Amino acid sequence: MVNGSILFLGLLLLFSIGGLSLAIQVVFLALLFLLSALLSMNIFVFLRKIKFFIATIALVFLFSVPGEVLYFYGPLSITKEGLVLAGFNIVRLVNIFTIVFILMKVLPRDFITISIIKACLFVTYFGVKKERLIARVFLTFEYLDFYRNAKFTFNSLGADIAKQINSDYSEKIKPNLPLVTFGTKDFFWSGSFAVAFLTIQFLLI
């Protein structure tokens, strides 16, 4: 029950935070940093692993968004609107990764994996094989664990990517996962989540 409530709130925040203003997202980011400190998590270690994503977002928005020019050098220019959008998307990205890492720290991995599989079971009605869905969800969390543990420095980037590509996870997929079924409690949990999510989206309009 406790794990379900934590996952409920975590996913609700994860899916809704992108619609919040930059100021509110900064407040949430500060609260997430405080929570990570209480959980003895060095969140800056995780953020260093996504520095390439952050740098890419900053470059794309800084130099590609038209608007009021703040600085230019030759064909390159930085606009006020690009600076705002870069800041907004970087904060949103950091919030998303921080929420995911906190959930993976607090909740058992099997619980998260099975819950995500249950939430995605509806796609099997559209022809997606259940076994393939389970394998995809499982591999997603394997990749997240890989990203948490990899250093991703310029010196080791090639080796880290090669290690991920050459890894064989087929033997790690637990045989009991295909037995996951959607129960009454899951219907109630999903319905409550849908209502809460739609309510937040309506309030943000």
pLDDT tens sequence across 170-204: 555 554 555 567 777 877 878 887 888 788 878 77
Domain containing 14: what range?
A: 1-107
Average confidence score pLDDT of the chain? 78
In terms of domains, do 123 and 58 share one?
no
Cα gap 100→120, rounded to integer Å: 18
Shared domain check, 9 and 93:
yes
- The answer to whether residues 120 and 102 belong to one domain is no
Domain boundary among 58, 77, 107: 107
Query: Span 117-134, mean pLDDT?
Result: 74
Domain total in the chain:
2
Do 33 and 57 share a structural domain?
A: yes
Q: CA-CA-CA-CA torsion for 180, 184, 188, 191, nearest 10 degrees?
A: 70
pTM of structure: 0.74
Distance CA 70, CA 114 (A): 49
The closest alpha carbon to 203, from 4, 7, 21, belongs to 21
Average pLDDT over residues 133-151: 69
What's the distance, CA 35 to chain centroid?
Answer: 17
Under 8 Å between Cβ of 160 and 150:
yes
| Domain match, 59 and 114 both | no
**3-state SS, residue 154:** coil
pLDDT tens-digit profile of 20-71? 888 989 999 999 999 988 888 887 877 877 888 888 888 888 888 888 888 8
Both tokens of residue 50?
């996504």
Do 155 and 114 have their domain in common?
A: yes
113, 100: one domain? no
